[in-house]
Each structure stands twice: as C-alpha cells, then as structure tokens.
Amino acid sequence: MGIEEIKQKILADANERAKKIVEEAEKKAKPIVDEAEDKAKQIRKESKEKAKSEAEVKKKRILALARLEARKCLLVARHDMTEEAFVEAGNRLSGLDDGEYLAIVKEMFLSVDIPEGDVEVILSPNDKKRVNNKFLKDVEKELALKGKKVKLTLSNDTRNMSGGFVLRKGRIEFNNSFEALIKTQRDVMESEIARILFR
C-alpha cells in the first residue's frame, strides 16, 4: 500500500468516523432540540395565556373602578336631590298664601311645648308682615283651652329663616323654624324621600 492509498484510507476512515460522530451527535441533539422546541411552544402558549389573563384582570379592575365611580356619582346625585327636596319643602312652606301659612304656624304653636308665662316670638323679616298681635292672641286663647297660661309678645328681633318661629323665655330659646322642623324630621324622612326619588 502506497502513501497515497494510506492517505485515502485515513481520509475515508476519518470521513466515516466523522459521519458516525455527526449521526450520533444528531441522534443525541434531536431530543434536546425537540424538547427545546416544545418548551418554546409552551412558553409562547403561556405568554399568550398570561397576556390574556393579565388583560382579563385589567378589564375586571377597570370595570370595578367604573362601577365604583358610577356608585359614587349615584350617591352624590341622591344626596343632592334629597337636599334639594328638603330645600324645596322649606320654600313651599314659606311660599304658601297667608291663610294656609298661618294655619300651619298656629298648628306648630299648639303642638310644641311652650313654657308658661311671658314668651317672646321671634320671626323672619318676611313673617313680620304676616304674623300680628291678633294672631298671637288667638294662639294664646287656644293654648289657654289646653290649660297653658302663656303671654306671647312679638319680638323686635328677627332671624334669618324661611319661616316658623323662635320662642324666647328669658335667655332660653326654642327654635321652631321650618329649618329646625325639617332637620328634626330629616332622619325619618330621608330614606322615604330617597325611595320616592330613586324607584
């Protein structure tokens, strides 16, 4: 065997050996590559699912915040409308014609706990034109029929109120203004008004 043939034989053996090494490497690499591809597919799938899941969480958060904001707006609207209803009630009471108005005020005098003796009656500047001494004398007579000895006197003082009256005996005052009346009834009436306004 000559040198050329030996060279050829070495090259052929090396080629054969290289081929076997490559085949073996490919055999060993195939499951690794397949596994890597499976992992890549899984990662892509998980990324999509994660993105979808995150989008769903974000959507739920946005909806929850929107519902919360809507609820706050509704509560503010309810509060404002309820407030408006109470203001309107006071305005309607003070806007009644003299006959109806005086009948309500007389009923208030007869239903409140008036102290006996000399009592000053403080009115709004507007009511000074409607409530006079004759009216107070009529109230005194009706109180006397109920066993109350009261002397009512119109005060020179006035109060900033929509209607009703303030009674003063000495240094003690009894607020019977429409505002005070509405305020005492507010807790009782508020839920009823809200029910009517927001059926």
Any idea what the CATH number is for the domain that residue 171 is in? 3.30.2320.30
Domain boundary, last residue among 40, 59, 94: 94
Q: How many residues does the chain have?
A: 199
Do 49 and 5 belong together in one domain? yes
Do 105 and 181 belong together in one domain? yes
Q: What is the rounded (10 degree) CA torsion for 167, 171, 172, 176?
A: 30
Do 104 and 86 belong together in one domain? no
Do 144 and 85 belong together in one domain? no
Do 125 and 42 belong together in one domain? no
Do 67 and 122 belong together in one domain? no
Domain boundary, last residue among 59, 94, 129: 94
Do 160 and 137 belong together in one domain? yes
CA proximity to 111, closest of 172, 185, 162:
185
The range of the structural domain enclosing residue 174 comes to: 98-197
Strands (E), the chain: 117-123, 150-158, 164-169, 172-177
Q: What is the pLDDT of residue 8?
A: 57
Q: What is the pLDDT of residue 30?
A: 77
Do 53 and 137 belong together in one domain? no
Provide the whole-model pTM. Answer: 0.56
Query: How do residues 59-103 score in pLDDT, each as one tens digit?
Result: 788 878 878 887 887 778 777 777 777 777 777 777 788 888 899
- Top pLDDT among 188 and 22 is at 188
